[in-house]
């Protein structure tokens, strides 16, 4: 039974008090009013702001002398798209951007020449020469993007291993750990965050000894504690390799019925598992790893809110996927749970590289961050030119951040890479999203913006224009300063000032 209305009633007082006490949470969808002049901070823009554009001719290219800066006293409000920003009203904090070293991604990279992989690591993870990704979300065992299906406790049907004596992490030690560790060392401990997500429990723990999610096998009730310990052992296995684990999700896509590894949960059972098994197991092991629950699409808003309301003592937030529903549900959830962490943990596009791919991804990132997400994590870090390889050649329509072409020996950079670049390059870890005019609601969410203030005081704005209309006079009003620039039809624009890393 849905309990969303009950949640709102029970938490109304808490919500109002929390919102009154903090400036976080999402702005209202209709907030397009001008800030009070008396409250506007004086902001001086020193140096020339940088503008980067992606459109039909460019992929994240610097446009010289594209920003005009002048005093707010000269602002003509009768022309252009006006976006008001309050540089002193900060909202939620940004924890970063990233993707996944799946089994397939690591194999694809292993097929490339060393110099190509070296360049890819610079372009992916370096803050100066690359786009500065800092979050890695890896699978616990195999996912749909694997060359074989496996868990860390595979035993024959009919046998049990409650003591986990046959726990075996060796598969990931071959490629996944080395590729991940190299990224960790480039990113640095202060910025790095790792998420672990399971697609399925070991088959012997399930109600049916099957891999595929379509059979809707569930976790056996007598295996709840064992499975929690299995997840803890996985975190410990990574940390034994010198790689800390920041976040774990109890299940990837718990209501999916596809033809690859998966496990079915009712939301009540998933909440109970987090409360009664996983959180206690983490605490007993001395791990402060955060739990984000749901790990599925925006459309599962009711389930997400129900689980969050039921696990406030054990779960730190909600993980969302972008494949169905709208990012604005994050704002709805943030109104009920203003102090809860929101991540987008999976967002794969389709091949081949197109401008539509950049526009769609950049649009969803802006809307997610604007609505309250603290991170946006793509899916495969790398795939080959066929979208694989995968076991049984399933699900090969997806694109990776980079394409490893085994025929040419070259690595190409696709629309997901450039879409992320518009944000990850100049919105730093620890940045705070600023209050800005909501341009999305009035434009059917085809013209959206998000603005963030970095820890060093620099500011970055990203505007996505998916419409067929040029917005030749976009005017970003930041305190007492106006930054004016064009946002052509079907383009993504990043404007940043004093934001050198």
pLDDT in tens, 30-39: 344 454 433 3
Span 332-348, average pLDDT: 97
Angle between helices 329-336 and 355-371 (to 10 degrees): 10
Q: What is the CATH number of domain 31-93+432-497?
A: 2.60.40.1180
Phi, psi of 387 (to 5 degrees): 85, 20
Predicted confidence (pLDDT) per residue in 165-196, tens digit:
999 999 999 999 999 999 999 999 999 999 99
Q: Is the pLDDT of residue 41 over 60?
A: no
Domain with CATH 3.20.20.80 in the chain: 96-104+132-347+360-376
pLDDT at 225 (0 to 100): 98
Q: Per-residue confidence at 246, pLDDT binned at 50, 70, 90?
A: very high
- Mean pLDDT of the residues in the chain: 91
Give φ, ψ of 286 to 5 degrees.
Answer: 75, 25
pLDDT in tens, 247-269: 999 999 999 999 999 999 999 99
| 108-151 residue pLDDT tens | 999 999 999 999 999 999 999 999 999 999 999 999 999 999 99
Contacting residues for 218 by C-beta, under 8 A, at least 6 apart:
206, 207, 263, 264, 265, 269
Whether the predicted pLDDT of 466 surpasses 50: yes
Q: How far does CA 368 lie from the centroid of its chain?
A: 9
Every domain of the chain with CATH number 2.60.40.1180 lies at 31-93+432-497
- Determine the CATH number of domain 96-104+132-347+360-376: 3.20.20.80
Would the CA dihedral through 341, 103, 363, 302 be positive or negative?
negative
Closest CA to 375 of 418, 327, 325, 335: 327
pLDDT of residue 30: 34
The residue-averaged pLDDT of 198-204 equals 98
User: What is the tens place of the pLDDT at every residue in 209-231?
Assistant: 999 999 999 999 999 999 999 99
Q: Judge whether residue 451 has pLDDT over 80.
A: yes
| Region class of 368: left (phi > 0), else alpha (psi between -120 and 50), else beta | alpha
pLDDT tens-digit profile of 274-328? 999 999 999 999 999 999 999 999 999 999 999 999 999 999 999 999 999 999 9
pLDDT at 19 over 70: no
Buried-state track 230-254, b at ≥16 Cβ within 10 A, e below 16: bbbbbbbbbeeeebebbbbbbbbbb
Write down the pLDDT at residue 9. 38
How is residue 108 written in tokens? 């694809």
Place of tokens 């329509």: 397
Beta-sheet strands, E only, within 238-361: 247-248, 290-297, 317-321, 341-346
Question: What is the rounded distance in angstroms from the CA atom of residue 383 to the CA atom of residue 394?
Answer: 13
Angle between the N-to-C axes of helices 176-187 and 114-125, in degrees from 0 to 180, rounded to the nearest 10:
50
Of 19, 163, 106, the residue nearest 383 (C-alpha): 106
30-33 own/partner pairs: CB under 8 Å, 24+ apart: 30/438, 30/441, 31/435, 31/437, 31/438, 32/437, 32/438, 32/439, 32/442, 33/84, 33/437
pLDDT tier for residue 499 given thresholds of 50, 70 and 90: low
pLDDT confidence bin for 441, thresholds 50/70/90: confident
Percent of the chain with pLDDT over 70: 90
- Among 18-22, 72-76, 363-367, 399-403, the range scoring the smallest mean pLDDT is 18-22
- The 8-class DSSP code of residue 247 comes to E
Q: What is residue 379's predicted lDDT score, i.e. its pLDDT? A: 98
Whole-number Å distance between alpha carbons of 247 and 220:
24
Q: Judge contact between 194 and 244, C-beta under 8 A.
A: yes
């Amino acid at each position: 039974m849905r309990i969303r209305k009950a949640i709102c009633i029970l938490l109304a007082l808490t919500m109002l008090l929390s919102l009154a006490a903090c400036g976080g949470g999402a702005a209202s969808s209709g907030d397009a009013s001008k800030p009070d002049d008396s409250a506007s901070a004086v902001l001086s823009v020193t140096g020339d702001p940088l503008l980067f554009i992606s459109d039909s001719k460019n992929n994240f290219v610097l446009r010289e002398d594209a920003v005009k800066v002048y005093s707010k006293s000269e602002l003509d409000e009768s022309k252009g798209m006006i976006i008001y920003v309050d540089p002193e009203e900060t909202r939620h904090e940004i924890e970063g951007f990233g993707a996944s070293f799946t089994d397939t991604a690591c194999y694809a990279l292993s097929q490339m020449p060393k110099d190509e992989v070296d360049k890819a690591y610079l372009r992916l993870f370096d803050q100066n020469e690359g786009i500065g990704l800092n979050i890695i979300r890896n699978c616990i065992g195999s996912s749909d993007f694997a060359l074989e299906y496996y868990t860390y406790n595979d035993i024959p049907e009919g046998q049990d291993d409650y003591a986990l004596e046959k726990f075996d992490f060796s598969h990931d030690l071959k490629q996944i750990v080395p590729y991940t560790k190299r990224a960790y060392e480039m990113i640095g401990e202060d910025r790095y965050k790792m998420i672990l997500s399971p697609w399925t429990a070991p088959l012997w723990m399930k109600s049916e000894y099957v891999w595929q999610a379509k059979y809707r096998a569930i976790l056996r009730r007598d295996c709840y504690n064992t499975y929690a310990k299995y997840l803890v052992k996985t975190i410990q296995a990574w940390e034994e390799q010198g790689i800390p684990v920041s976040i774990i999700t109890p299940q990837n896509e718990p209501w999916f019925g596809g033809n690859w590894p998966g496990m079915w949960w009712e939301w009540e059972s998933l909440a109970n598992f987090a409360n009664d098994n996983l959180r206690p197991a983490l605490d007993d092991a001395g791990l402060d790893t955060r739990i984000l629950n749901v790990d599925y699409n925006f459309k599962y808003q009711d389930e997400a809110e129900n689980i969050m309301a039921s696990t406030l003592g054990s779960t730190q937030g909600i993980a969302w996927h972008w494949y169905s529903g709208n990012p604005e549900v994050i704002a709805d959830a943030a109104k009920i749970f203003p102090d809860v962490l929101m991540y987008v943990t999976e967002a794969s596009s389709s091949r081949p590289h197109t401008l539509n791919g950049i526009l769609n991804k950049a649009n969803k990132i802006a809307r997610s961050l604007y609505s309250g997400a603290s991170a946006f994590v793509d899916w495969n870090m790398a795939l080959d030119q066929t979208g694989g390889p995968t076991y049984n050649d399933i699900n090969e329509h997806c694109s990776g951040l980079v394409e490893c072409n085994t025929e040419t020996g070259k690595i190409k950079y696709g629309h997901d890479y450039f879409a992320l670049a518009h944000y990850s390059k100049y919105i730093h870890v620890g940045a705070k999203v600023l209050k800005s005019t909501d341009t999305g609601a009035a434009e059917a969410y085809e013209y959206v913006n998000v603005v963030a203030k970095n820890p060093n005081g620099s500011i970055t704005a990203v505007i996505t224009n998916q419409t067929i209309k040029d917005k030749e006079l976009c005017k970003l009003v930041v305190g007492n300063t106006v930054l004016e620039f064009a946002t052509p039809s079907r383009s993504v624009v990043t404007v940043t000032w004093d934001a050198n890393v």
